[in-house]
Structure 1
Amino acid sequence: MLKKFILAFSLATFSAGIVFAKGINKVPENLSDAEKLNGLSLYWKEVSYNFAFFDQVPELDFDTKYQEFIPRVLATQNTYEYYRELKRLNAFLQDGHTNIYYPKGMSSSYVDWPAIRLAEAGRKAVITGVEKGLESHIPPGSIIVAINGQPIEAHLKEQVMPYIASSTQHILWNTAVRDALDGKPGSMAQLTIETPDGATKSIEVKRDARGRKIEYASIKQPASNGELFEFKWLENDIGYVALNGFHDEAIVAQFKSHYDEITKSKGLIIDLRFNGGGNSAYAGEIISYLTDRDLPGSVWKTPKHVAAYKAWGSFADQFEDLEEYRPYAEGASWEFSEDSGDIVEPKLDSNHIVPTYVLIGRNTASAAEDFLVYADSLEHFTTVGEPTYGSTGQPMIVDLPGGGTFRVCTKRDTYPDGREFVGYGIQPDILVERTLDIVRSGEDRVLDRAFIDLKSTITSSAL
């Protein structure tokens, strides 16, 4: 089986996993013009040659954008501003596996936030938690209507979204709401909120939460138990398995250690909602115990460069026998996976085949999406929840001046039949959208829906 090593990123809270250059202890206050231009040019070069999704941003002329950003990066007054400009350029690629990462520790000097927790629902910024003692002033369940006098939607689109690398619109909004209150440490933010009872009020909050141990008054939201793996029994002999990450091989061992007990279930719920990815080989190993047939994985392609072919292709208009090399000159040549994709074979002759509901959502990403590609043909599997993150692939990592890094997605995965999910997200069989009412209720409607349907399925099959 082909192993995909996807660098871990914290998709459960979507701080989009920081990758740091090794051995960097001190970030320079500012970079020289030569360093700034070198970093920008290195990024432009590697993206130009290796990025696998230019066709998903057809309106983007990346060479022209590069030229536009030369004076922008040269005008930056410090290293933080420089990295912000690189993030702004990178956001035009609209890919969740192509990112700019700050030098380690640098953002702590430039970014803080108030002691307020937010969740996105229906493109609204919902306050799900505030520091204890403030809940009467800022009631959990309120929505933010404006920030510093600017309507929330305009604020997000103008101040936050231009710096976010996202493959899908729903994740763009999710991340923007998460970062909506970020700003200079110690600064004040003026918020207009609408409380759950419909009242509108203005409040002022200080950005001082970083590093503080804060006790929150919160509306509890669905979340993992904080562990890599969880197994528990629900009613009606339904087993619940949470696979909260494929970044650690220990999850395979933990699944195997519980497998005998799992096989006693009459129905199974697998929770992938908080799985941000990792190594698809671990996903394949686990699902091999839950299938009665071979399961094809994703197929892939990657940009292909052959210098001489590129040179010959540039003469294709003049010499007909060089036409086959034109794609190399136009940057449109691909190397395809050698076969139909990696195959997961059933692990045992007596694998556990029962009605299985898989919970998915906006935090289901990368190798967790690969798990869903494997599961696509299994009739006893049903997915419930929201569309997934919509990003996977193989990034390459490159160091930047000042101690940061960038990564570029070099590989494009699809379903075996060619269906795209990167840029869209995998759609659930049963859609349970996150709404304002659901967030305010604190209920786990996705799990509830799966349990009700699964219980009904088990009861019907027993008749």
Structure 2
Amino acid sequence: MSRRYLSQVLSTALVIVMSTSVLAGEDNKLTHEDKIYGLSLFWKEASDNFAYFDQVPELDFDAAYQGFIPRVLATQSDYEYYRELMRFNALLKDGHTNVYLPQGLEQGHIDWPSIGLYEANKEAVVISTSLALQHSIPLGSTLVKLDDVELATYLEASVMPYIASSTEHILWHSAVRDALDGKPGSHVKLTLKTPQGEIKQLTLTRDNNLRKRANPEESERISLKRAQSNGELFEFKWLEPGMGYLALNGFHDKQILTDFYAALDDIRKAKRLIIDLRFNGGGDSLIAAEILSHFSETELKGAIWKTRKHIAAFKAWGKYDANYKVYADDNAWESGEMEIFPSKENPIIVPTYVLTSRDTASAAEDFLIYADPLAHFTVLGEKTYGSTGQPIFFDLPGGGSFRICTKRDTYPDGREFVGYGITPDVLMTITAERLIAEQDFMLEEAINRLK
């Protein structure tokens, strides 16, 4: 055994021991009263404020709450407790309703082997590995089994119950991403199918983070090249003469408006345009509409919304007066609509393709709602994330928190998209073969259609 290898082994072992000793003293702070209070607070606020109970008609939320009381009391650590809260939260199946662990609590409880997975058409594709594993696990291999259990069965039993997701495709995306998570230092048996069709089995250690802490050089990886943003909020460039590419990578910062207006004169020169929303996770819907108003000849109408309405006396009267029955049934709503944006002078009306992905979410989806009537826009890509709304946040015992989605949004004509995702005009599917090809096939398709 080389000295360098021995040093790495000892360093990793030391990190494990230190992590375990720290957790032993810091991961069992919550009392039974704390645990009951946290669970009850979530149940109470969700019962009063959650906007999408109709999308989980099979859920008896009160019965589920009662069933989770002994579960949270049986937890042996704060981490286990928060995992149970996440499981309870996941019953609501909403991407804007989440439980968040206290800062640092996950460290010491979760690690994974040094490979990265990406969901492609319900397959788990290896898109990255450490240098040490590159010859054992070819990039583009698909994961067939974990610990001798078929992938779908494993995910449905061990991973998906903890994931809050409004849509099936995001549930799968998140489950594949988290599939290899487990106790640091534990082992997981993988059955893989290589791009050449060979079936391989190997057992890996969940030690990615431990290795990186012990030896930063361990973080070096090889990866499949995939489409990605430039790392900035905004990008404008020419793909070819007359064809512009406009990337809007986030609506959470008003800086994108400054960047957009700085480039507007150049954008106006485009005869054909591609707007890329694939890496936009949302932000402020008004920023989205402000930008879009430069591409419309008519006013823009956004989503209509409604939120639950509680008036205590009306609820009491509703027990015997039909005029107030909706309050007694917890089915009274306040409704409204997003701000209407007038079009700007000299709008940019050219053939335009808008690229979307599973990561196009929230305010980026609101952008698409505003853009729905625009005849010169064609949406191309994956189904969007399928979740938006207005969350309300609460603190939990032990330093964690949760949020509940209080507002539901639909198209102006009432069509639903939360719980489904916005389906593009041209639906594109990511497959293992397309990942292996390492080409931006969505951008290429849009370019070819605009030529």
Q: Answer yes or no: same fold by TM over 0.5.
A: yes
Matches of 2:448 and 2:156 in 1, distance apart?
A: 39
1:189 positional shift? 1.5
- Residue 447 of structure 1: aligned partner: 443
Query: 1:127-276 to 2 correspondence within 5 Å?
Result: 127-210=126-209, 212=212, 213=216, 214-276=219-281
Aligned length: 421
CA contact (8 A) 1:30 1:77 kept: no
- Residue 427 of structure 1: aligned partner: 423
Query: 1:382-461 to 2 correspondence within 5 Å?
Result: 382-455=378-451
CA contact (8 A) 2:243 2:272 kept: yes
Matches of 2:412 and 2:47 in 1, distance apart?
A: 27
Query: 1:23-422 to 2 correspondence within 5 Å?
Result: 28-210=27-209, 212=212, 213=216, 214-315=219-320, 322-337=321-336, 340-347=337-344, 349-422=345-418
Matches of 1:296 and 1:225 in 2, distance apart?
A: 30
CA contact (8 A) 1:37 1:70 kept: yes
Q: Secondary structure at the match of 1:66?
A: helix
Q: Secondary structure at the match of 1:84?
A: helix
Matches of 1:327 and 1:55 in 2, distance apart?
A: 15
1:208 positional shift? 2.0
CA contact (8 A) 2:72 2:81 kept: yes
Counterpart amino acid of 1:412?
R
**Which stretch shifts more, 382-391 or 232-241?**
232-241
Counterpart amino acid of 1:357?
Y
**Which stretch shifts more, 433-442 or 98-107?**
433-442
CA contact (8 A) 1:27 1:403 kept: no
TM-score under structure 2 normalisation? 0.92
1:416 positional shift? 0.6
Matches of 1:264 and 1:329 in 2, distance apart?
A: 58
Matches of 2:428 and 2:352 in 1, distance apart?
A: 17
Larger RCO (CA within 8 A; separation ≥ 6) = 1
**Which stretch shifts more, 439-448 or 270-279?**
439-448
- Residue 5 of structure 2: aligned partner: none
CA contact (8 A) 2:118 2:127 kept: yes
Q: Secondary structure at the match of 2:442?
A: helix
Q: Secondary structure at the match of 1:171?
A: helix
Deviation digits for residues 420-462 of structure 1, max 9, x if unmatched?
100010000001111121112111111111111111xxxxxxx
1:268 positional shift? 0.7
Q: Secondary structure at the match of 2:208?
A: coil
**Which stretch shifts more, 30-39 or 203-212?**
203-212
1:134 positional shift? 2.0
Counterpart amino acid of 2:389?
G
Counterpart amino acid of 1:238?
M
Matches of 2:187 and 2:259 in 1, distance apart?
A: 46
Counterpart amino acid of 1:225?
N
Matches of 2:26 and 2:62 in 1, distance apart?
A: 29
Deviation digits for residues 149-187 of structure 1, max 9, x if unmatched?
211111110010000000000000000000001111122
CA contact (8 A) 1:384 1:428 kept: yes
Matches of 1:385 and 1:117 in 2, distance apart?
A: 23
Deviation digits for residues 226-264 of structure 1, max 9, x if unmatched?
111111110242111111111111111111111111111
TM-score under structure 1 normalisation? 0.89
1:133 positional shift? 3.6
Q: Note the residue ranges of structure 2 that are not aligned, 5 or more in a row.
A: 1-24
Matches of 2:263 and 2:131 in 1, distance apart?
A: 39
1:28 positional shift? 5.0
Q: Secondary structure at the match of 2:81?
A: helix
Deviation digits for residues 305-339 of structure 1, max 9, x if unmatched?
00001011112xxxxxx1011111111110111xx
Counterpart amino acid of 1:260?
D
Counterpart amino acid of 2:442?
V
Matches of 1:108 and 1:29 in 2, distance apart?
A: 14
Q: What is the alpha-carbon root mean square deviation over aligned residues? A: 1.2
Matches of 2:137 and 2:230 in 1, distance apart?
A: 27
Matches of 2:103 and 2:354 in 1, distance apart?
A: 36
Identity among equivalent positions (%) equals: 56
Matches of 1:428 and 1:415 in 2, distance apart?
A: 15
1:27 positional shift? 5.9
CA contact (8 A) 2:27 2:79 kept: no
CA contact (8 A) 1:27 1:103 kept: no
Counterpart amino acid of 1:248?
D
Normalized per residue, which structure has more helix?
Answer: 2
Q: Secondary structure at the match of 1:402?
A: coil
Q: Note the residue ranges of structure 1 that are not aligned, 5 or more in a row.
A: 1-25, 316-321, 456-463
Matches of 1:343 and 1:210 in 2, distance apart?
A: 48
Deviation digits for residues 118-164 of structure 1, max 9, x if unmatched?
11011010001111242221000000111112111111100100000
Matches of 1:83 and 1:236 in 2, distance apart?
A: 54
Q: Secondary structure at the match of 1:108?
A: coil
